[in-house]
Amino acid sequence: MINKTSEENQKRLLKSLLYYVLAVKDEKTVESISDLLEYDQKVIQNLLDGFPANHPAVINFNKIKSVDYRDFEIISNELKSKVKQAKMIRNTFPDFCNEVEVDVYIEKVISSNKFETMREYINYLMKKGDSRGFLVIGFRLFYDEGNVELGLKYMEQSATQGNLLAFYYLGVIYYEGGKGKVKKDYEKAEKYLKQFIEKEKRRR
C-alpha cells in the first residue's frame, strides 16, 4: 500500500530540487537532482539559504524541512530510485512553459511510468480522463496558442474534476481578464478562488 504522506513529501522534495537546478545549474539535467539527493537535509537547507523566501525551491523545501532526519532519509532514498529511472528514460528536462507542466513532470517521475516524452504522458492522462492532462493542454491552448475558447473548456473540465490548480488558474484568468483575452468576471473568479482556498485548506 502506497504511503500517501511519503509520496507527497517526495513530490515536494523533487520539486524543490528541480527548481534549484533550473535556477543555478548550467547543465539542467535529471542527473543534477541525483547528485543533490546524496546530500543530507542540512546541506540542502544550506544550499537554499541564499534564495528568497518566495522562491519555489524554498517554498517546497520548507514544507518538509521539519521532517525528522530519519524520515527525510527514507523520503530521499525512495525518491532516488524514481529519479534514476527518469534519468535512464531522458536525462534532460522537458522545455517547461509554465509551472503546471512542472507539476505534471513531477507526477510523471513519482509515478515511475515508462513514457519517454511529456506529450506521451499528457496524452495518456487525457485518454484516462485525468484532470491534469486537461489542465496542461488547456493552459497551452489558452496562453501559448491563443485558442481561448478551447483552452478555457479544457481548464474548466479539469476544474469540474476537482483539480486544485485549475481552480487557481481559472480564478486568476477571470479576475485579471486573462491578459486581455477574456472579459473580467469577478463572480466566476470568486467562485474558483474560493474552491481553490477550500481545497488547499483540506490538504493541510
Length of the chain: 204
What are the residue ranges spanned by the domains of the chain?
4-93, 95-204
C-alpha 142/C-alpha 20 separation (Å) is: 28
Residues contacting 33, CB < 8 A, separation 6+: 14, 17, 18, 21, 83
- Please provide the average confidence, as pLDDT, over all residues in the chain: 87
pLDDT-flagged residues of the chain (< 70) = 1-4, 112-116, 203-204
| Fold that domain 95-204 belongs to in CATH | 1.25.40
CB contact at 8 A, 134 and 123? no
Tell me the per-residue pLDDT of 15-69, one tens digit each, with 9 for 90 and over: 999 999 999 977 788 899 999 999 999 999 999 998 999 999 999 999 998 888 8
pLDDT of residue 130: 87
pLDDT of residue 28: 82
Chain-centre distance for alpha carbon 91: 18
Ordered DSSP codes for 31-45 = HHHHHHTTS-HHHHH
